[in-house]
Amino acid sequence: MSKENKLHWSEEKEAVSSSKPLKLLFILFLHLPQIVILSLIYPIGFFYLLFSKRARCEARNYQKQLCAFLKESGKSKIRISPYTQIVSFCLCVAEKMMGWLGKVQYNELITHNDDLQELIDQLEQKKGAIIIGSHLGNIDLLRSLSSFNRTGVNREIEVTIIMEVSTSEQFTKTLKEINPKYTANIISPENITPETAILLQEKLDSGGLLVYTGDRTSARNRTRIFREKFLGKNADFPYGVFMMPAILHAPTYFMFALRTKNATLHPKYNMFIEKSKTNFNCARNERNIKIHELALEFVKKLEKYCIEFPYQWYNFYNFWLLQETETPHKNALDTERT
């Protein structure tokens, strides 16, 4: 394994080291038809394929792992195509900018017979919720829609997001210039304290949403993990992400916004909202078991949608890199018990 493949995701260099290409894209969106700009994504994706060895290799490695899992499960394999995945990622970046420019409408989303309406009804009653997303698809879509009050709810929803800003400084800076609301209500994991937890509880109690992703381990506490099979191979998932609902006692939903086609000039997104079945109304000594149940729920959902939308995976690093811990063969639940 190369040194590059041994890096934790937070140690990887930001894909865009300068904000100039993003600002150029922003200017183009303001002055050219959307279809013209999206058509430029294909040559940009090809350029990225040629000059980003990391993205090319990690896309191939992920797809090979998925293929092995599909074969073992008796399902049809996918075609190995790093280019398709990279173009899909480039489209996602462009679509994030479209969202924060207000060019995406709620009625452009394709909803399903899942738990979306239950979430909307809950928010209408000014009851908050936690949403756990991933780097599969475009989790940012919900937040950009909320900044224009386009959520399907008849009131403005305050969305608080927990995310590592330092790992994507150029992208964050550009999106803030597009829409100042992008950096509003962002909390860095390193700044979470008992006081922050109280603030988050107040936001949820007033009918807000707390949103974060569950598919990247903490940049600062890498040993606090669940180790679970994902696509047939052990991977590490963050403990703190799944502990949060146990602390805040709010209904928890899994959200995936996934493009109907891997590459298209007329993007439409499937919006999947599924409520967690894990109930934290339990004795304190059972809490860690429930946290583990929530983590397993998420892993299975992530696996399910990776199979359905294989090229919309945007974790361009060695996802199956296992962190060295004092108890490497135990998950976080076992560690809590010892």
Residue 337's pLDDT band, with cuts at 50, 70 and 90, is very low
Rounded to whole angstroms, what are the CA distances from 72 to 66, 67, 75, 77, 81?
Answer: 10, 9, 8, 10, 20
Count the alpha carbons within 13 Å of 235 in the hemisphere toward its beta carbon: 26
Range in 211-215, 240-244, 261-265 the model is least confident about: 261-265
State residue 30's pLDDT score. Answer: 81
Kindly calculate the radius of gyration of the chain based on its CA atoms and give it in whole angstroms.
20
CA 76 to chain centre: 26
How many Å separate Cα 235 from the centre of its chain?
Answer: 16
- pLDDT tens digits along 261-293: 888 888 889 999 999 999 888 887 888 999 999
Does residue 330 contact residue 152 with C-beta atoms inside 8 Å?
A: no
Distance CA 242, CA 226 (A): 10
- Mean pLDDT for the chain overall: 86
Decide: pTM greater than 0.85: yes
Q: What is the DSSP letter of 124?
A: H
Q: Tell me the C-alpha distance between 309 and 316, whole Å.
A: 16
- Are the CB atoms for 243 and 287 separated by under 8 Å? no
Q: Which of 134, 159, 275 is nearest to 214 (CA)?
A: 134
Contact 137, 262 (CB under 8 A): no
Is the model more confident about 109 or about 170?
109
What span, in angstroms and rounded, lies between the C-alpha atoms of 12 and 30?
Answer: 31
Question: Are 148 and 102 contacting, i.e. CB atoms less than 8 angstroms apart?
Answer: yes
The one-character DSSP state at 213 is E
Q: Please, which residues have CB within 8 angstroms of residue 229's CB and are 6 or more apart in sequence?
A: 235, 299
DSSP designation for 260: S
281 exposure class (CB count in 10 Å sphere: 0-12, 13-18, 19+): exposed
* CB of 132 closer than 8 Å to CB of 210: no
* Of 245, 265, 262, 246, the residue nearest 254 (C-alpha): 245
Which pLDDT tens digit goes with each residue over 149-158?
888 898 989 9
Q: What are the φ/ψ torsions at residue 50 (nearest 5 degrees)?
A: -70, -40
- Judged against a pLDDT cut of 50, whether residue 175 lies above it is answered with yes
Query: Which one, of 313, 325, 328, lies nearest residue 58 by Cα?
Result: 313
State residue 329's pLDDT score. Answer: 39
Cβ-proximal residues to 184 (8 Å cutoff; 6+ apart), any chain: none
Task: Return the closest-CA partner of residue 284 out of 251, 247, 335.
Answer: 247
Beta bridge partners of 274: 254
